[in-house]
Structure 1
Amino acid sequence: MANISKKISCPSFVGILLLLLFISFLPSCSSKKKLARSLSGTDVQSIILKSTSTPDYQWMSGKAKVLIDDGVSNQKINMYVRINRDSLIWMAFKKLSVEGGRALVTADSVYAILRLEKSYYKASMEELTQSDSEVDFRYLQDVLAGFPPKLDPDNITVKNLKSKIQIKMDTFGVESTLEYDVASGLLTGGYFENENDFSCEWNYGNYQLLADSIEVPFFRFYKLQLSEQESLTLRLEFSNIEIDVAKSIRFEIPSHYTRLSQLSFP
């Protein structure tokens, strides 16, 4: 068993997403979906302008099928996510209609419930990310919602390639590379690597237009390199995403559950 806590100490949304998804090991009125619009003649400045702010939303919820593959075995689960902007992130994971766990993330804490093991995990956001928890929480919310990280025009390097625009940026001390499609202006992928040899590549696709103005990727693929010997891929395919439809949030740790000092994966 490998120690997850060490692997996710990097200040990134991927680390926390990895933590939340791993608890899965051990429905509402639907918004009408439309194909995302193509932007003709997209240039660097329009992408930067679009990415200097995030869409205005208060609630986001979704359901996705997730395939987790560590190179030896794979598992399929259903993931449910609800985000109340600047307040909380709630996630639940089911396999064959049986709930394996739940997670709740606030600006300062992360909680995870493992149903089958009758245990739970609790940690501060600062402990997990080793950075300002409030800033990291906003970053995590927007990326889980499917929005690109907010760009700082004074802290990026741009390379204009034939079919894509590549932007390098520093996020919480980790250099990330984002790739945007020239034809549509949409974020299609990226990668990063930290000093602990933890790296991640990701791809976005199947963008849908919600609330007539917000473009969200319904397909997301992550390839994580945890060490020289350990790697993992996460494939998320959303069947439903809603914007600004308030949802109930239920999260309660049973009194008889045992607290874990760390989470681990096979």
Structure 2
Amino acid sequence: MLSVWPLTLTMMKCSPMYLRLFQTLLVVVLVALTSFTCRRKAAADAMDVPITPATTPLSAEALTSRLQQPQWQRVRTLSAHARLSIEGEEVAADANANLIWVRDSALWLNVKKFGMEVARVLITPDSFFVLNRIDKTAMAMPQRDFQRRYQLPEGLPVLQHLLVAVAWLPENATFQADIKEAMHRLSGTNGRFLVDYRIEEGTFWLRQSTFVQPAEGQWLSQTCARFQKLSRAGVVFPYFRRIELFSPESGHFRMDIDFTQIEVNVDKPFRFEIPEHYQRIQ
């Protein structure tokens, strides 16, 4: 049975230092700088995969229909291990993570460095919580602040779409279709955010998702590779991701994610409790 321990954090403002760390969607404390040579080669190999080029444009309605992927509705939970490589203007680190997702309810993960937990994160429909194990601090953000900081049009709903690599298609958005860089492109806006999806010919896998907030000069992009079928659920999942974020306030961040040990529809317990001696970040 899935269980979440009671949360009693008070919503607080974030310092600029912590906002830069939050920009990775994880709080990873810089325990040590590590070489990225091998990981970069693996990332380059994952990204450099030939795809069938799109030659005949499809309508926005046709692409929207292809992107619906109703089979993902059969997946109510997903757990995985992940290897992370993070680069930014003030961040360079490798780490490991464990992730548990419960549809429409929670996204939980813990981040480890040298086998020790350095951070624990919980995202719910209305809040974002972080424990920093290195300096023993705790922080919480209401969902509206989380969405603004990470350039997301919504919080958990968009994050779970990114996790399973399914396009988020808001009802109030107007879409158009064309071909861009040898892939089908479905782009649109709801008046506040611009969305841009790149879809592979034939398989119609979602290769790239980009969200842009023009007024703020902010954007978030996820590129996917190494698609494999999860036999238990009959869905296709990209085992490799590259997430890039930019904002004038925090600069540019890039995080490569290699997923392993994926399980779907297997209940996994998780905990999130705040030690009494942890400092609440002001």
Taking structure 1 as reference, are residues 182 and 222 closer, same or farther at Cα in structure 2, changes over 3 Å only? same
Report the Cα offset of residue 73 of structure 1: 5.5
Report the Cα offset of residue 198 of structure 1: 1.9
Amino acid at match of 2:218: F
Mark the runs of 5 or more structure 2 residues left unpaired by the alignment. Answer: 1-14, 32-51
Taking structure 1 as reference, are residues 144 and 171 closer, same or farther at Cα in structure 2, changes over 3 Å only? farther
Q: Is the 8 A contact 1:107 1:134 kept in 2?
A: no
Amino acid at match of 2:253: L
Aligned to 1:82: 100
Runs of 4+ with >6 A deviation: none
Report the Cα offset of residue 221 of structure 1: 0.7
Report the Cα offset of residue 256 of structure 1: 0.8
Q: For 2:173 and 2:146, locate their aligned partners in 1 and report how far apart those are by CA, in whole Å.
A: 28
TM-score (norm 1): 0.77
Report the Cα offset of residue 220 of structure 1: 0.5
Q: How many residues align?
A: 239
Report the Cα offset of residue 61 of structure 1: 0.9
TM-score (norm 2): 0.73
Amino acid at match of 1:52: Q
Aligned to 1:22: 27
Report the Cα offset of residue 53 of structure 1: 5.3
CA RMSD, Structure 1 to Structure 2 (Å) = 3.3
Q: What SS does the corresponding residue of 2:146 show, helix, strand or coil?
A: helix
| CA shift digits 1:126-182 (9 cap, x unpaired) | 232259x99532222221233332365962111135831111123682102110011
**Overall identity of the aligned pairs, in %:** 19
Q: What SS does the corresponding residue of 1:22 show, helix, strand or coil?
A: coil
> Are residue 209 (structure 1) and residue 229 (structure 2) matched?
yes
Taking structure 1 as reference, are residues 64 and 162 closer, same or farther at Cα in structure 2, changes over 3 Å only? closer
Aligned to 1:11: none
Amino acid at match of 1:63: H
| CA shift digits 1:19-38 (9 cap, x unpaired) | 53234546xxxxxxxxxxx9
| CA shift digits 1:207-242 (9 cap, x unpaired) | 011135211111111222233983221111112222
Q: Is the 8 A contact 2:222 2:241 kept in 1?
A: yes
Aligned to 1:68: 86
Mark the runs of 5 or more structure 1 residues left unpaired by the alignment. Answer: 9-15, 27-37, 262-266
Aligned to 2:196: 177
